[in-house]
Each structure stands twice: as C-alpha cells, then as structure tokens.
Amino acid sequence: MAGSETAFHLAESGLKVRLYEMRPAKMTDVHQSGNMGELVCSNSLKSELINTAQGLLKAEMQRMGSLILSCAEQARVPAGSALAVDRERFSKLVNATLENHPNIEIVRQEVTRIPLNEITIIATGPLTSGELFEDIKRLTGSENLYFYDAVAPSISMESLDTTKAFKASRYGKGTEDYYNCPMNKQEYERFYYELIDADIKEGHSIDKKEFFDGCMPVEVMARRGVETLRFGPMRPVGLLDPVNGKRPWAVVQLRQENREGTVWGLVGCQTRLKWAEQKRVFQLIPGLENADFVRFGVMHRNTFICSPQLLQPTLQLKSHPNLLFAGQITGVEGYMESAATGILAGVNAKRIVHGQEPLSMPPETILGALVQFITQADQNNFQPINANFGIVPPLSVKIKNKKERYNQYVSRSMDKMNDFSELFAAYVVK
C-alpha cells in the first residue's frame, strides 16, 4: 500500500522511480500473487463517514491524490458505511497502474541491502523479508519490535444457511450489507468453550509474544473472559433476529469480500487455529454448519521499527536523511494509515530531490497526528496505532457533545489541508 502510493506520487510528479518487488519470484507466507496492493487481511478499508477518524483520513488522502482510494472506488463491494473492495480486482488495478506508468521501472527481485547513497523509501510492510530486515537492524542499530497478526477465514456464499443468517447493519446504519449469524446463550457458550480449548496452529511461539489489539486472534481475546466476545466483535447490540424479533445473545457478522458476492469473511474472527480446528469450531455457529471455507485464517509475524527512536516527523531516518520509511513497518496500523504515510514519504522524497526542506503534516490532521504519534511516542512502550481522534490535539474550545466535537475535528483538519493544498496541486490522480 505505502510503496504503491509513494511510487505513484513520485512518478506523477515527473520523477523516474525504480520500484522493487520480490513477488512472485519470492513469496511471503500469506500473499497469493505478485500484484502490488494485495490485501492479505480484511477486504475492508473501514469507514467512509467523514465524521470518523477513518473517514477523515480518506478525505485527507483524497486531497493528496491517493492511488489506493482511486483503485478502491473502482473495485468497491457493498459494505454499508464502510469502503470494502473485491481484493483481486483491487490489487490488479493497483498493479496495472504502476506497471503501465512511463516513469516507473518495476524490478522483480528481492532487496537484501539498502542503498545508502540514493534517495530510498523503505515501504516493505509488515512482512519484510528476513535478509532485508536484518540489514535494517544493522542500519538502525536497534532491536526490532514485532507482533503477531492474524487473518480471519472466509466462506463461500452458497454454503451459508440464510434461513438462520440474516442481512442487516447495526442500528440500521447504511444499507443491509452484512450477514449476521445469531446465537442464543447456549449456542454461544458451546462455541466459546470449544474455541478456547481448541489447538493452535503450530510453528509460532506466539503465546509468549505480544499482539496488537486490533488484530488479536479471536481465541486469545476469548481467554479474557466468557463475556469478552459478546462485548467485542460478537456484540449483538443494534440487531434484531427477524425470526423472533429479539436481540440475539451474540452475533457473528460476515462481510462481502468480492464484487460477485460469492465469498464472505467472518468479521473479527482472526485466528491462529489449526485449519481442521477452524472448520470444527466455526461450524458450531448457526448458519455456518455446512460452511465451505474458501480461505482459512492464518497467523504471520508483522515487523515494525522503533519509530520514536529512529524517524523524524518527515519519515526520514535520523541517521540517514536520504532514507525514508513508510507504511506498517513504521508502526502505523491499517491499510489506509499505511497508504497515507506512503504519500507523505513521496512528498518528502520529491522535495529532497529538488533541494527543498522536507515537510511535516499538521498534527491537526489525522495523518499528521499519526506521524507525530509514531515519531514522538514513548520508545519503551511503543505499539502500533490506528487512525483515531484520541491522538489529535484538543480543540481550543471544549465541546462535550461527541458528534459535534468530531465535526469540529473534521472542519479543523480540512482547514489545515487547505493551507497545504499547494503542495499537492500539481499532482492529480489519472
């Protein structure tokens, strides 16, 4: 995501870009193609509502000519107030745009050493290959931080029992784009106890490691208590089972994953379970008794650097200002957060080429607040961060009403983006 945005921004600005991608010659544990922009976790790019942090971040990225947003719009699938995409169509669009750009040369080979005498953006994502990450460690002189990330399983639509699952969005927000599998108390508790007792996929010493809460395996989350899932990803609030007109005890939601609507993902069910255990446990959910699993959940290690120690707010490496980092490797968490830092890295790489001073984004913007957080957080307790209003500076006047407060955050951000609009005016997405 980040590397695609960076390359596109620089190329659209008239600069020649050499873009390295090791796939498909060398694959990761979770990628399935050689396409740029391949989504390996959820197919959701989160909310489009402007009065949410995710929606505001998209608005800021749109001002900066985001490639990812342009391709996502062409590959979108129904998801209520969220932006979700057909993952295969989306990655093909991103890949084709970059491959066909006259200013981009794509080199399909693994990079194992970072060139120190060139202007280089390192946007290798959470699945940085081993040799390159060792070189990053040597370059930065610091121990790498890491957390384990999990992917949720997906099922075929034809295997979903729609006599039990019903379509709705919580509180009727947006359109009825989610399938909901309701559980009564007995069904939920049976599922819960089978889940926490299930074997885990071998190959990781993950019980001793740290998880980012936003992608915590559902079985790890469940071990916090029997009610945790009911007040988390399986919360039943805002939903009524049309069979009996009552609120279920718990609900598992499914989100459409491709344009044709033939594949649906289990929302909030990221897992590290063995595949056989995934099938056994998730088929205990009403409506999924005969689920055909198109993709099982997998576990992989995500790597990120200690940005507060290593990076300037411009995303330049403190020890080598001609090197910039972007994307999830910096400690931002999420597709759009990663892509947004890629645009900023592209802006500053371009300025370095032209002998101009690199820029920091205003902290009143979501992107600016994210970059400020990852570069100024406590080095000893640094963890990945999503876009959220909790990291932006407080308003000059305190507003108790949350909706109005969020609206003011949006207004302030757009004002700041207007102040900086000339920085991106020469760059328009084709």
Provide the pLDDT for residue 208.
Answer: 47
Is the distance from CB of 301 to CB of 294 less than 8 angstroms?
no
pLDDT tens for residues 352-408?
A: 999 999 999 999 999 999 999 999 988 877 878 899 998 998 999 989 898 999 999
Provide the pLDDT for residue 88.
Answer: 94
pLDDT tens for residues 264-317?
A: 999 999 998 999 999 999 999 999 999 999 889 888 777 899 999 999 999 999
Res 428 pLDDT > 90? no
- Mean pLDDT across 211-231: 88
pLDDT band at 427 (very low <50, low <70, confident <90, very high): very low
Structure tokens at 366: 């979501």
pLDDT band at 115 (very low <50, low <70, confident <90, very high): very high
By mean pLDDT, which of 72-81, 168-177, 343-352 is the weakest? 168-177
pLDDT tens for residues 12-54?
A: 999 999 999 999 999 988 888 999 999 988 899 999 999 999 9
What is the C-alpha separation between 305 and 143, in angstroms, rounded?
8
Provide the pLDDT for residue 214.
Answer: 66
Structure tokens at 66: 């985001």
pLDDT tens for residues 80-106?
A: 999 999 999 999 999 999 999 999 999
Q: pTM of the predicted model, to two decimals? A: 0.83
pLDDT band at 426 (very low <50, low <70, confident <90, very high): very low
What 3 state SS string does the chain have? CHHHHHHHHHHHCCCCEEEECCCCCCCCCCCCCCCCCCCCCCCEEEECCCCCHHHHHHHHHHHCCCHHHHHHHHCEECCCCEEEECHHHHHHHHHHHHHCCCCEEEECCCCCCCCCCCCEEECCHHHCCHHHHHHHHHHHCCCCEEEEEEECCEEEHHHCCCCCCEECCHHHCCCCCCEEEEECHHHHHHHHHHHHHCCECCCCCHHHCCECHHHCCHHHHHCCCCCCHHHCCCCCCCCCECCCCECCCEEEEEEECCCCCCEEEECCCCECECHHHHHHHHCCCCCCCCCCEEECCCEEEEEECCHHHHECCCCEECCEEEEEECCHHHCECCHHHHHHHHHHHHHHHHHHHCCCCCCCCCCCCHHHHHHHHHHHCCHHHCCCECCCHHHCCCCCCCCCCHHHHHHHHHHHHHHHHHHCHHHCCCCCCC
Provide the pLDDT for residue 67.
Answer: 98
